[in-house]
Amino acid sequence: MTQTLTTRSRARSQQWFQRAQQSLVEGVNSLSRGAAVYHPGPVVLERGRGSHVWDADGNDYVDFMMSFGALIHGHAHPKLVEVVSQAMAEGSHFATATSAEVEAAERFRRMVPSAELVRFTNTGTEATMLALRLARAHTRRTRFLKFEGHYHGWYDCYLLNGHSYSPEEIGSPENPMKIPDSAGIPPSTFDEVVLAPWNDASALERVMRDHGRELAAVITEPIMANMGCIPPRDGYLERLRELTCDYGVLLIFDEVVTGFRYAPGGCQEFYGIRPDISVFGKALGAGFPVGAVAGPRPILDRMRWGEDMVLHYGTFNGHRLTMKVVAANLDLLSADGTYRNLHAIGNAAIAGLQAVFRKRKIKAIVQGFGPMFQIYFTGRDAIHDYRDYCKHVDTRRHSHFVHLLLERGIYMTPSNGLHWIISTVHTESDVTALVEAVDQACAELA
């Protein structure tokens, strides 16, 4: 048996958090890191190696958050450390053409089936912004369809119904209420957005009949990753692809979370769906900030200089150091057996967690497969969409549960809307530590 890690005091984390609040809004640089999620405050991490991280008090954790999925090879991978060190010594960034961006793009195209061309950005949000601009320019339409519960970055027009709300607030599936996720956005911004339920083929058909001819694009996560981990129903993505083709609407796959995680070419390869435009981030950079927009030449070429071009600038686009990391990362992911191992370790973790919940007679499900999953405290057999999540998932119980795991050396975000991540460096021993910690937490939870 692997001995479960037990964390000691987190006094120094609290000290750093109190100090941070003098200089940073809520003491953090993103709301998902602060007291809105972690109670009484965040765990302040100082270093990481492989699948483990250590906090300011020296506590050791097995990391299953992995920077929200960005760390596909875990912390401080030796090959990536070597690449970064060399790139820094040679010059990290020139804001001009480099061979590094060419090599990264060539490897990207070899892995992603739909990528005739690629344009690198700095974040996933930038990539989704650019994808919509390209779709509007290409179709000469302005409206687009966004699904409830999906998150495509913090661009104004995407910030609708990305958080969970009470069932009474969200309206009916036939007429969803548009609920902005942020203040400071003019209401007119959402006039161009058609909001629809996800994972419901009949609802999709109705919406497309009503609005299909005026839509530039439909943007979707192939697996809903903003409400934990909600896979598509059988045939749903195929029907979405058919309908967008029928109405001349571009299909945008937001693979910022799923890209390079389920298969070399992301979910589009795993499910056999070819989108018109796809966007990537997180695992693409293996811990470095990067995004990408990929697609066929006729669409991507609209960024060429000239009349009616789609403007896209960026001082840090194709950042040399990051491009070196991207190329090395994609080489590592191309090694034989990488995805087979990712799926095997993830599925072993899922099976172990399910066994604990059965043994402890706790109403919880583990949803997802392979390298990404989420735990929902619910009496239902599955969570299929945003409305299921809002109505049937006990997010407070999940938060309490994860805080119990933090005390037992498992690092994970208490936010139920995110997901557990398996990296290439997680091992069977890590899974054993997780299952033992969950068993102990469930004993206290019950």
The set of catalytic residues is: 151, 254, 282
Q: Give the span between the Cα atoms of 334 and 346, in whole angstroms.
A: 19
Q: Give the span between the Cα atoms of 130 and 137, in whole angstroms.
A: 11
Cα→Cα distances 246→13, 215, 234, 250, 420, Å? 55, 12, 20, 10, 37
Q: Residue 195, SS3? A: strand
For 280, list phi and psi in degrees, rounded to 5: -135, 165
Runs of H (alpha helix) within 193-235: 201-211
Cα angle: 39, vertex 366, 231; to 5 degrees: 110
State the burial class of residue 362 (Cβ atoms within 10 Å of its Cβ: 0-12, 13-18, 19+): middle
Query: Tokens 């509007």 correspond to what residue?
Result: 136
Check: CB of residue 192 under 8 Å from CB of residue 157: yes
State the burial class of residue 214 (Cβ atoms within 10 Å of its Cβ: 0-12, 13-18, 19+): middle
* Among candidate residues 385, 106, 429, the one with its CA nearest the CA of residue 226: 385
Check: CB of residue 440 under 8 Å from CB of residue 5: no
Which element (helix H / strand E) includes 351? helix 338-360
Check: CB of residue 132 under 8 Å from CB of residue 252: yes
Under 8 Å CB-to-CB from 30, ≥6 apart: which residues?
none
* Cis-peptide into 173, omega within 30 deg: no
Check: CB of residue 376 under 8 Å from CB of residue 364: yes
Q: Give the span between the Cα atoms of 232 and 221, in whole angstroms.
A: 9
Dihedral of alpha carbons 68, 71, 73, 74, sign: negative
